[in-house]
């Protein structure tokens, strides 16, 4: 039966699809094949005009043949795939004769996979199938798609007559088979590796490369002979046998010539797809500004960030729940308390230590901590709630960093506001001060390019209603007063532009 790809390290690998599942899939094939062809026409512009003529019949037959072969392998693991294999090679040869690149076929296959997964979800609901079976089906579909793609590539290369590139094509197929995981018959990888003289390693490290710009082709020279590459993929990548040590890293840096890339985790051969997935996720974070590094980046140094931002919607939901007690405060009050709370959770420092990090007076820190304890209550003393709050604030801090990078990429900020940095959290640097009438300034927001005044931080935008940018105050003989935190009456008076400080004799947190 069809085996599913292994993803060790994070979760247990899905098991093989039961043979009985084939009986459920057979009746779905005719309609799902038609749906796939329709969506291919919408998703791949190069195929759209062809679907009006006889090529539609060719494409529909190819889709039906691939679907039939997939279900036959589920029903009978020993079923022959010779007819399917030859049909896929013919497809590749046809694409070469038509003068199209393989990216068209690749896009069509990904579109078909998405349609198949949607239908599986619908069938699973109809028959009340367990979620584990749907997960195993999705895993098998992606692995099967990789095998189909490699067969089409063989026909494409053959038709192109690229004898000089045939050896490299075999190496590319080997890389795709490795990334397909256990869905490929066990002898396939060592057999193909033996034919091209590639020693199969126990561990591998995948490297995700930043894709080239439009109308440009990625060329990399100077790689070690045992490094497998796929530069024709829309998301190019490399496979390095074993770990990337200093010598390997120097080789990559010289070959990439400054191009941004991410070195994935070193994993067993069967976990190659996981290493590439984590590397690509880290590359996306670097491109968005969350990971503030350039050149060659190591995924292992950002595993916590990957975990925190693995599901942005869930992180936002967690932040909304954990910061709900602060929803009634003004944006400024909420921002000050969140900055202080994040610093306390990440340092567990004294008021004096936190005051140094936040560039505040210790009495101000004590005042804020009393306000937090009154508003949050047992949320600060319960270990589970405290951990959830810290994770939510760390995720928001990382997303706020990306928003700050995006804002700096626009027109330069002008006006009286100066740049301010975030407080230290999860390895970040200390806060900075700025000049002005106030004796101290809070870390957090970044000046907007239009007004020159600070915009609400990411944590404020998620934890409560969004606030418009503040309007610059008109000169007044009476300085404005900072509003006190609700439910926590200020003790005594305070200087203009400063937060109220507790009177002497209150030691606070």
**What pLDDT is attached to residue 163?**
47
> Taking residues 485-491, what's their average pLDDT?
40
Lowest mean pLDDT across 133-147, 174-188, 274-288, 363-377: 174-188
Q: Are strands 237-241 and 261-268 parallel, antiparallel or unpaired?
A: unpaired
Does the structure show a pLDDT above 50 at 440? no
Lowest mean pLDDT across 54-58, 331-335, 378-382: 54-58
Share of the chain above pLDDT 90, in %: 25
Give 161-220 pLDDT, tens digit per residue: 654 456 677 888 889 889 886 655 456 788 888 877 888 999 999 999 998 865 556 788
**What pLDDT is attached to residue 211?**
86
Report the range out of 159-163, 386-390, 402-406 with the highest average pLDDT. Answer: 386-390
Does the structure show a pLDDT above 70 at 29? yes
Work out the mean pLDDT of the chain and round it to a whole number: 75
Does the structure show a pLDDT above 60 at 131? yes
Coil/strand/helix, residue 296? strand
Whole-prediction pTM value? 0.45
Does the structure show a pLDDT above 70 at 482? no
Does the structure show a pLDDT above 80 at 221? yes
**What pLDDT is attached to residue 447?**
35
Domain range list for the chain: 1-197, 201-310, 315-463
Per-residue burial over 403-428, b = 16 or more CB atoms within 10 Å of its CB, e = otherwise: bbeebeeeeebeeebeebbbbbbeeb
**What pLDDT is attached to residue 159?**
78
Beta bridge partners of residue 262, listed in sequence order? 208, 297
Residue 103 binned pLDDT confidence (cut-offs 50, 70, 90)? confident
How open is the CA angle 57-62-67, to the nearest 5 degrees? 125
Coil/strand/helix, residue 55? helix
What are the tokens at 87?
């049909």
- DSSP, residue by residue, 431-459: -----SSSS---S---B-TTTSSBPPPHH
Query: Which one has a higher pLDDT value, 403 or 10?
Result: 403
């Amino acid at each position: 039966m069809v085996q599913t790809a292994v993803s060790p390290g994070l979760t247990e690998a899905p098991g093989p699809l039961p043979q009985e599942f084939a009986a459920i899939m057979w009746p779905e094939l005719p309609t799902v094949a038609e749906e796939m062809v329709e969506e291919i026409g919408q998703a791949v512009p190069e195929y759209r005009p062809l679907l009006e003529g006889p090529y539609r019949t060719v494409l529909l037959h190819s889709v039906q043949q691939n679907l039939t072969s997939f279900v036959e392998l589920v029903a009978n693991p020993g079923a022959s795939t010779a007819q399917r294999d030859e049909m896929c090679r013919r497809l590749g040869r046809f694409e070469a004769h038509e003068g199209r690149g393989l990216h068209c076929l690749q896009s069509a296959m990904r579109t078909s996979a998405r349609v198949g997964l949607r239908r599986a979800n619908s069938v699973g609901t109809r028959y009340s199938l367990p979620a584990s079976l749907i997960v195993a089906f999705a895993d098998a579909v992606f692995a099967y798609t990789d095998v189909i793609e490699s067969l089409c590539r063989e026909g494409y290369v053959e038709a192109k007559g690229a004898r000089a590139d045939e050896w490299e094509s075999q190496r590319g197929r080997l890389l795709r088979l490795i990334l397909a995981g256990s869905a490929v018959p066990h002898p396939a990888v060592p057999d193909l590796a033996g034919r091209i003289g590639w020693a199969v390693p126990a561990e591998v490290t995948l490297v995700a490369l930043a894709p080239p710009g439009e109308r440009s082709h990625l060329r990399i020279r100077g790689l070690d002979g045992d490094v497998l590459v796929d530069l024709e993929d829309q998301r190019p990548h490399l496979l390095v046998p074993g770990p990337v040590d200093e010598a390997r890293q120097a080789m990559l840096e010289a070959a990439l010539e400054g191009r941004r890339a991410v070195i994935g985790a070193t994993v067993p051969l069967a976990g190659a797809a996981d290493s590439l997935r984590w590397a690509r996720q880290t590359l996306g974070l670097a491109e968005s500004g969350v990971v503030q590094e350039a050149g060659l980046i190591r995924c292992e140094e950002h595993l916590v960030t990957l975990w925190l931002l693995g599901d942005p919607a869930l992180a936002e939901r967690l932040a909304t729940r954990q910061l709900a007690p602060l929803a009634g405060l003004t944006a400024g009050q909420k921002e000050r308390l969140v900055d202080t709370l994040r610093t306390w959770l990440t340092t567990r420092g004294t008021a004096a230590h936190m005051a140094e990090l936040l560039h505040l007076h210790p009495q101000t820190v004590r005042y804020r901590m009393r306000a937090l304890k009154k508003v949050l209550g047992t949320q600060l003393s319960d270990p589970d709630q405290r951990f959830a709050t810290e994770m939510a604030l760390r995720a928001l801090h990382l997303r706020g960093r990306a928003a700050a990078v995006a804002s700096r990429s626009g027109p330069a900020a002008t006006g009286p506001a100066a740049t301010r940095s975030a407080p230290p959290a999860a390895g970040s640097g200390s806060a900075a001060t700025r000049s002005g009438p106030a004796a101290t300034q809070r870390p957090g927001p970044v000046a907007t390019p239009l007004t020159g005044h600070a915009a609400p931080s990411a944590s404020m935008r998620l934890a409560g209603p969004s606030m418009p940018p503040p309007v610059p105050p008109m000169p007044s003989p009476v300085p404005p007063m900072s509003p006190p935190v609700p439910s926590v009456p200020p003790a005594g008076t305070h200087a203009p532009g400063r937060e109220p400080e507790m009177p002497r004799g209150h030691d606070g947190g």
